[in-house]
Amino acid sequence: MKREELKEFLDAKVLQYNTINFLESDPIQIPHKFSKKEDIEISAFLVATIAWGNRKSIINNGKKLMQMMGDSPYDYVVNFSEKDANSLSGFVHRTFNDKDLVYFIKALQNIYNKHKGLEDIFFINSVKYSLQPAIHAFKKVFFSLPHLQRTEKHISDPFKNSAAKRINMFLRWMVRKDNAGVDFGLWTSISPSYLSCPLDVHTGNVARSLGILKRKQNDGKALVELDTSLRRLDPCDPVKYDFALFGLGIFEGF
């Protein structure tokens, strides 16, 4: 397809999938249960962290995690102490276990107490048209407390050629305002034009089928290539096409 035809096709798919119905089968439904900014961003960050594998399992474990936190994630995080660790005992999602979770809670507490919250870290480390340096800086802050080495694998680093799918998805949820009731648009300090597409096997395969991605691996270099293609279609809101690519792959077997 020519660029104009491709844009028209993908814009139609965005309208088809970027709707409230998207919540029914997507992990973003969990932060939608909250109204307070900090509750939304903490629940979204934790759910995005475990967002790999079976989507039903992700949603079920995300709900379980919120229940463990008394359905008040911000209060739980800021008031957390070692004696509360037992309340998280037994949590597991694939390779993410309760030891990882306890550290994540401590790291989030440190961020809210000493770094003005999640948004501020990403804002002060962003560069024009890219949040990938901010993700790298965020990981350094996040793991600045004593921790098990294995826990680091649960946050990807774009500077190590990772597509960082899950954290880019979290950033889409927080930054992009879609007026359709899906993405939150809570972080007004960051422009949606800086966002990167959450690149996974589905979006990657569809992008290759459409000719907007050539690289075979779903890595950091592929993300740069895909972002470049999507910004040509819409420089102001490039990651809206995540809905089109993901929807075509998951729901239409494109």
Helices 132-142/98-114 angle, 10° precision:
100
Q: In the prediction, which pLDDT does 1 show?
A: 80
The pLDDT assigned to 242 comes to 98
Q: What integer pLDDT is reported at residue 60 of this predicted model?
A: 97
pLDDT band at 35 (very low <50, low <70, confident <90, very high): very high
pLDDT of residue 253: 86
pTM of the predicted structure, to 2 decimals:
0.97
State the CB neighbour count (10 A cutoff) for residue 80: 18
| Model pLDDT for residues 59-116, shown as the tens digit of each residue | 999 999 999 999 999 999 999 999 999 999 999 999 999 999 999 999 999 999 999 9
Measured CA angle at 243 (ends 241, 247), to 5 deg: 125
pLDDT band for position 23 (cuts 50, 70, 90): very high
Quick one: pLDDT band at residue 36, thresholds 50, 70, 90?
very high
Phi, psi values for residue 184, rounded to 5°: -85, -40
Chain mean pLDDT for the chain: 97
Nearest to 68 by CA among 24, 30, 124: 30
Task: Report how far residue 172's alpha carbon sits from residue 192's, in angstroms, rounded to the nearest whole number.
Answer: 8
Question: Which is more confidently placed, 241 or 53?
Answer: 241
Contacts of 35 (CB under 8 A, 6+ apart): none
Q: What is the pLDDT of residue 218?
A: 97
User: And the tokens for 52?
Assistant: 């790999």
Please state, in angstroms and as integers, the Cα–Cα distance from residue 64 to each residue in 46, 61, 116, following that order.
12, 5, 27
What percentage of the chain carries pLDDT values higher than 90? 97
DSSP H or E run through 93:
strand 92-93
Q: For 100-149, what is each residue's pLDDT tens digit?
A: 999 999 999 999 999 999 999 999 999 999 999 999 999 999 999 999 99
Return d(Cα 91, Cα 154) in angstroms, integer: 15
